[in-house]
Structure formats: C-alpha cells, structure tokens
Amino acid sequence: MPISSDLPSHSKLIYSDPKSESVPAYGETLNDFDAQDSIFTSSVLIEHAKNAINTEKQALELLKDGLDERFADACRLILACLVRVGVTGMYKSGHIGR
C-alpha cells in the first residue's frame, strides 16, 4: 500500500485499493473482516491518536504564547456590545463561537 510522502511522518495517510481484503469494503463493519490482517492494528491506531494530540498540543502552546493585550481588548469589545454578536463558522470554529 503506498503511503503519501509529502506529509510529515506523524500524519501520513494510508491509501489502499478498494478491492483489497485488508480493509472493510463500503458498508462492512470491522466484524465483517479479519481484523488480524488489518493494517489498522491497535498500536497503529493508538500511535496515530497520540501523534494527533501532540500536534494539537503544540498548536495550543503557540496560541497560548501569542495571547496579549489585543486578546483582552477583543474580549472587552464583545462584552461591551449591547446587542447580539454574530459569529460564523462551521465545525470547531462554530463551536468555539458559541
């Protein structure tokens, strides 16, 4: 199975042939194929999750280090509004806006 080479090693995506027996076909569940032959072993899945968490942790550290008086000024502006403040976004940014 080829692995994309343009991504950092901690975020490589695995592409497989849809006819391959090593991953479930569309509509199948993990119980419908032999999980022992899967490339998605517990250790691989756990390692990918840990890498994703570490990546997010690093991004949050950068965000934290960038907080300054401008953030406090923006908060005060929003808090001083006498009407509703419209926030747009989808998924994570929408949840943060709420």
Cα dihedral sign, 57-63-67-73: negative
The answer to whether residue 58 sits within a structural domain is yes
Q: Is residue 1 part of a domain?
A: no
**CA nearest to 16, candidates 24, 5, 7:** 24
Q: Is residue 56 part of a domain?
A: yes
Does the predicted TM-score (pTM) go above 0.95? no
Quick count: other Cβ atoms within 10 Å of Cβ 2? 8
59 assigned to some structural domain: yes
- Quick: pLDDT tens for 76-91: 999 999 998 888 777 8
Q: Give the mean pLDDT of the chain.
A: 74
42 versus 9: the higher-pLDDT residue is: 42
Range(s) of the domain holding residue 14: 9-97
Whether the pLDDT of residue 73 is over 60: the answer is yes
76 part of a folded domain: yes
Q: Which two tokens stand for residue 14?
A: 């695995």
CA-based nearest residue to 7, from 59, 58, 48: 48
Reading phi first (left if > 0) and then psi (alpha if -120 to 50, else beta), residue 89 is in left
- Count structural domains, the chain: 1
Is the distance from CB of 15 to CB of 3 less than 8 angstroms?
Answer: yes
pLDDT at 23: 56
67 is a domain residue:
yes
